[in-house]
Amino acid sequence: MSNFDIYFIYNPNRIEGNQVMSNKATRLITLIMLLQRKPNQKAAALAGELGISVRSLHRYFNMLEEIGIPVYAERGPYGGFSLVRGFRMPPMIFTAEEAVAIYLGTHMVESIWGDLYQEGARGALAKLENVLPAEQLSEIRWAQQSLITTGINQVTREAVSGLLILLRKAIREQRAISCQYRTGGKASDQQRTIHPYALLHRWGWWYVVAYCTTRQANRAFRLDRMEEPTLTEFVFSIPPDFDIHQYLLTEFEQQSLITIRLRFSTEMEGTVRDYHTWWKTIEHQKDGSILVSLEMPELTYPAKLVLSYGPGVEVLEPQELRKMVSEMARQIYKSYS
C-alpha cells in the first residue's frame, strides 16, 4: 500500500455487541450533562433531547438516584428538574491538542459515514463541549475556522447513504445482497449476489468488500455502481481465516495493472509537480518536456484524464490508450463541429 493511501474500514460485527446497554448508558450520561449545563429544565424538553417519552425519562431519573446522583424538581412557572445542588461531573482531562484531535476525528467520521454515525458523532461533540474547560473550547473554535477537511468524497454521501445503511445491516446479520452491478467502463449491468464482509472508504469512493458468487472470489464493489440492491434471506458465514487488512495488502492491491507512459510539455511542469504522487517515474528531458509513467487497472479513467490536460500531454504507450484518446477526441470534435 502506497504512502499516500487513506482508507477507512467499517465492520459492525466488531462494535455493536452491546447496543442496547450502550444507548442506555449514553442517555444517562447525556441526561447528567443536560441537567448540569442548565438547571430547572422541563421534562418534555429533556425527553425530547434524549429521544424518549416523559414516562421513560422518570425511569432514568430513578436510575440516577440509584447510582447516587439525585435529581430534584421545583414547581412553578420557572421550575423544572435539576441535579442536586453542588453536584458536578468530574472534568475530563484533555490537552488542547487532544481536544482538537477528537473534534477533527469526529467530523471526519460524520463526513465519511454520514447517517451511520452522524447522531453519535454530534452527540460526542455536544458532550465534549459540555465538560471541556474554556482553554480547550477555545482551541476547538480555532480549529473549526482554521483546520478544514473537505472534498474527500468522489460522490455525494447522500447518493449512497441508504445503501450504506442496508449494507451495514447485511454485514451485521451476515445476509447476502443481490444487485445489478455496473463494471467500470461498461454500460450494461450484471446481476450479482454478494456476501458483504466490510465497508471501505478509499480514494474518495465507498466500497463493500464481499465474496462474489459469480466470480467465486472476494472482490471490492463500488457502491455508486450498485443498482437495485436487495437484502436476501440467505445467511452466510465469513471464513474464519478472512482478514480485511490482509486482503487490502494482497488481493485488493495486487490487481493486474497496466503501465502507462506520458509526455508532458514544458508548460505542464506545474501540473506534473502538483500530481507527483500519481507518477511511478518522472524523467526531465533536455528539451524541457517531462516523461512520466503510472500504473492503472484499466484505461477509461486515464483516457479522460489525458483529455482533461488538453494538448499539453501525449500518450506514448500503450497503443490502446492512444486509440481511446483519439476516438474520444474525435467524438468531442463531432459534437461541437
Sole residue written with cell 442506555: 24
Domain assignment present for 5: no
Domain assignment present for 134: yes
Cell readout for 45 is 424538553
For the residues 105-127, what does the mean pLDDT come to?
79
Q: Which of 249, 274, 304 is the last residue of a domain?
A: 249
| Phi, then psi, of 249 in degrees rounded to 5 | -80, -15
Residues 242 and 272 in one domain: no
Residues 76 and 118 in one domain: no
Residues 262 and 245 in one domain: no
Q: What's 225's domain CATH number?
A: 2.30.30
CA 133 to chain centre: 30
Domain assignment present for 3: no
pLDDT for 90:
60
pLDDT for 21:
36
pLDDT for 133:
77
pLDDT for 216:
92
Enumerate residues 6+ apart whose C-beta is below 8 A from 104: 143, 147, 149
For the residues 132-160, what does the mean pLDDT come to?
81
Domain assignment present for 6: no
Q: What's 312's domain CATH number?
A: 3.30.70.240
Domain ranges, residue 166:
157-249
Q: Is the pLDDT of residue 128 over 80?
A: no
Domain assignment present for 151: no
Q: Is the pLDDT of residue 196 over 80?
A: yes
pLDDT for 4:
36
Q: Which of 209, 230, 249 is the last residue of a domain?
A: 249
**Number of folded domains in the chain?**
4
219-230: pLDDT as tens digits: 989 998 999 999
Residues 136 and 181 in one domain: no
Classified as helix, coil or strand, 274 is helix
Q: Which residues pair with 196 in a beta bridge?
A: 210
